[in-house]
């Protein structure tokens, strides 16, 4: 009873809201008040009881960058929206700093509100990725390196396991009681700490890793562990180049959705996913969703920006697939984007067969020497021509039939904002375009997405846009 009283006190103080953007002095007080009832014991033996009401779960979001306002917490929204149809109830969410004491205090608070706690972030290779350490400390469950996960990590980096750096290898250390969730989109596996009456699940922080892991791995695990129902039939359409509100407006203009179709959406920069769900996963339901997809594809403004109809296919996967269908290879030369275009492509499926070469630098001169371009050709060439020269040299050096060259940032002038010139070189010639910088602090990620979108348009069959 008393822990519930303390929770109500914390709620009245404004601490038990769905999202908490506070540093920790007051939360530590709440956790200290609850502490006399003890942390969960590794020796507890009672079996999980069958529940007639929804399973309660609590979210702990880690990340100093969220508390500092650099990024918004998208995890709570995604998890609550995804898990509610499965019969799970979100009892609350805390956002805490990347510090072991803060995470442990949040876990102490969370396990008294729910039998399932989901922790996001802090599983990577850097020094401030301390979630794994905090979970071991809190649960008393040790972690060990998993041979299967290690082999997958070695395959991803195309080197023997013994050559992997220690900070990479720690990402495949998994609980001795519980298990792990596969991560085909990143290097850190998810972790499941199993206790008799509680489960703590740790997920990687990047949305492009967390969200597919939830949909492909966590949902099935929760069905086995808690008896939650599996999701109904769903259709996910992935768009690039249109905003969330623009897509929603176009759908409402052209479609009248049946009342039993639930719609949700999420975005990551310039990439937007819309998911349409029916309560039951039956052949009839799937047929209805296929009909809905046909109707959406008939909307020209949406069809032009649609790149996938399943949540597992990334924009990078799609671009590499277009290259494969052409039997072509791509080289990437980057200045302003800082290697982000190449990094995304190299993490995608099939990269080793389709990415012929990469060159990235902070300015043009190192790239000219690396590729190389002769002094007499380079000297006196205008800026746009120099980008073409880099593209031609990259194609010659790598044998690539397509080259994307991302130029330097062009400062604002004559009323135009800061821009970046892009050149695509292929058998059809050289295409120049300029992209305005947008996305605030994330402008390089936005730029990389725009470059991939333009490459998608260049590669796809039919008239080029």
The answer to whether the CB of 106 falls within 8 A of the CB of 97 is: no
Q: What domains sit in the chain, N to C, each tagged with a CATH number?
A: 2-226 (3.40.980.10), 236-308 (3.30.70), 315-459 (3.90.950.20)
- SS3 of the chain: the string is CHHHHHHHHHHHCCCCCCCCCCCCHHHHHHHHHHHHHCCCCCCCCCCCCCCCCCEEEEEEEECHHHHCCCCCCCHHHHHHHHHHHHCEEEEEEEEECCCHHHHHHHHHHHCCCCCEEEEECCCCCCCCCCHHHHHHHHHCCCEEECHHHHHHHHHHHCCCHHHCCHHHHHHHEEECCEEEECCCCCCCCEEEEECCCCEEEEECCCHHHHHHHHHHHHHHHHHHHHCCCCCCCEEEEEEECCCHHHHHHHHHHHCCCCCCCEEEEEEECCEEEEEEECCCCCHHHHHHHHHHHHHHHCCHHHHCCEEECCCCCCHHHHHHHHHHHHCCCEEEEECCCCCHHHHHHHCCCCHHHHEEEEEECCCHHHHHHHCCCCHHHHCCCCHHHHHHHHHHHHHHHHCCCEEEEEEEEECCECCECCEEEEEEEECCEEEEEEEECCCHHHHHHHHHHHHHHHHHHHHCCCCCC
Contacts of 389 (CB under 8 A, 6+ apart): 368, 373, 377, 378, 381
pLDDT of the residue at 39: 30
Contacts of 337 (CB under 8 A, 6+ apart): 360, 406, 420, 444, 447, 448, 451
> Rounded to an integer, what distance in angstroms lies between the CA atom of residue 202 and that of residue 135?
9
Token representation of residue 295:
């109707």
pLDDT band at 60 (very low <50, low <70, confident <90, very high): very high
The answer to whether the CB of 87 falls within 8 A of the CB of 54 is: yes
pLDDT of the residue at 219: 92
The answer to whether the CB of 370 falls within 8 A of the CB of 359 is: yes
- Over residues 386-441, the pLDDT tens digits come to 999 999 999 999 999 999 999 999 988 877 889 999 999 998 899 999 999 988 88
Token representation of residue 103:
């995470």
The answer to whether the CB of 311 falls within 8 A of the CB of 215 is: yes
> Rounded to an integer, what distance in angstroms lies between the CA atom of residue 29 and that of residue 10?
10
pLDDT of the residue at 396: 94
Tell me the average pLDDT across 193-217: 92
- Over residues 269-304, the pLDDT tens digits come to 899 999 898 878 889 999 999 999 999 999 999 999
> Rounded to an integer, what distance in angstroms lies between the CA atom of residue 60 and that of residue 103?
8
pLDDT band at 181 (very low <50, low <70, confident <90, very high): very high
How much of the chain exceeds pLDDT 90, in percent?
63
pLDDT of residue 182 exceeding 80, the answer is yes
**The residue to which tokens 């650099």 are assigned:** 70
Helix axis angle, 443-459 to 315-326, nearest 10°? 30
- Over residues 339-377, the pLDDT tens digits come to 999 999 998 877 888 999 999 998 999 999 999 999 999
- Which of 341, 337, 364 shows the shortest CA–CA distance to 351? 341
> Rounded to an integer, what distance in angstroms lies between the CA atom of residue 223 and that of residue 231?
10
The answer to whether the CB of 355 falls within 8 A of the CB of 332 is: yes
**The residue to which tokens 């402008």 are assigned:** 443
Q: Which of 52-56, 231-235, 260-264, 441-445 has the lowest mean pLDDT?
A: 52-56
Integer CA distances (angstroms), 43 to 81, 109, 180, 203, 226, in order: 34, 20, 21, 25, 20
The answer to whether the CB of 135 falls within 8 A of the CB of 191 is: yes
pLDDT band at 464 (very low <50, low <70, confident <90, very high): low
**The residue to which tokens 């209805």 are assigned:** 288
pTM above 0.85, yes or no: no
- Which of 82, 25, 87 shows the shortest CA–CA distance to 53? 87
The answer to whether the CB of 26 falls within 8 A of the CB of 102 is: no
- Which of 400, 394, 240 shows the shortest CA–CA distance to 326? 400
Tell me the average pLDDT across 15-21: 33
- SS3 of 54-122: the string is CEEEEEEEECHHHHCCCCCCCHHHHHHHHHHHHCEEEEEEEEECCCHHHHHHHHHHHCCCCCEEEEECC
27-30 contact pairs (CB < 8 A, 24+): 27/94, 27/96, 27/102, 27/105, 27/106, 27/109, 28/101, 28/105, 30/6, 30/109
End-to-end Cα distance, the chain? 65
Tell me the average pLDDT across 230-249: 89
């Amino acid at each position: 009873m008393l822990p519930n009283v303390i929770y109500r006190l914390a709620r009245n103080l404004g601490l038990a809201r769905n999202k908490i953007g506070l540093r920790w002095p007051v939360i530590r007080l709440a956790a200290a008040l609850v502490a006399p009832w003890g942390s969960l014991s590794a020796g507890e033996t009672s079996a999980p009881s069958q529940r007639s009401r929804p399973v309660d779960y609590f979210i702990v979001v880690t990340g100093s960058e969220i508390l500092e306002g650099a990024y918004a917490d998208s995890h709570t929204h995604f998890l609550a929206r995804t898990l509610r149809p499965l019969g799970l109830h979100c009892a609350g969410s805390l956002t805490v700093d990347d510090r072991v004491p803060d995470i442990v205090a949040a876990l102490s608070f969370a396990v008294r509100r729910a039998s399932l706690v989901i922790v996001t972030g802090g599983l990577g290779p850097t020094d401030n990725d301390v979630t794994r350490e905090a979970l071991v400390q809190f649960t008393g469950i040790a972690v060990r390196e998993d041979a299967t996960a290690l082999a997958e990590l070695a395959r991803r980096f195309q080197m023997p396991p013994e050559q992997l750096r220690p900070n990479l290898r720690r990402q495949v250390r998994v609980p001795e009681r519980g298990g792990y969730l596969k991560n085909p989109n990143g290097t850190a596996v998810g972790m499941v700490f199993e206790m008799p009456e509680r489960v703590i699940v740790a997920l990687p922080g990047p949305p492009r890793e967390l969200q597919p892991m939830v949909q492909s791995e966590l949902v099935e695990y929760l069905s086995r562990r808690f008896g939650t129902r599996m999701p109904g039939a769903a259709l996910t359409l992935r768009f690039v180049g249109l905003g969330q509100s623009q897509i929603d407006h176009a759908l409402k203009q052209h479609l009248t959705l049946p009342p039993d179709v639930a719609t949700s959406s999420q975005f990551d920069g310039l990439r937007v996913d819309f998911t349409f769900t029916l309560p039951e996963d039956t052949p009839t339901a799937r047929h209805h969703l296929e009909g809905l997809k046909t109707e959406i594809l008939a909307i020209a403004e949406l069809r032009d920006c649609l790149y996938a109809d399943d949540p597992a296919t990334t924009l990078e996967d799609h671009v590499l697939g277009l290259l494969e269908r052409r039997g072509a290879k791509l080289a990437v030369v980057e200045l302003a984007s800082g290697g982000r275009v190449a990094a995304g492509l190299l993490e995608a499926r099939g990269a080793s067969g389709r990415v012929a070469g990469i060159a990235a630098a902070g300015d043009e001169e190192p790239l000219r020497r690396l590729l190389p371009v002769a002094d007499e050709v380079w000297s006196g060439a205008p800026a746009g021509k120099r980008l073409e020269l880099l593209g031609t040299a990259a194609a010659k050096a790598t044998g690539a039939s397509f080259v994307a060259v991302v130029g330097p940032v062009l400062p604002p002038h004559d009323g135009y904002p800061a821009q970046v010139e892009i050149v695509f070189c292929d058998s059809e010639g050289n295409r120049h375009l300029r992209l305005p910088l947008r996305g605030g602090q994330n402008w390089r990620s936005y730029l990389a997405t725009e470059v991939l979108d333009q490459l998608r348009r260049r590669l796809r069959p039919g008239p080029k846009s």
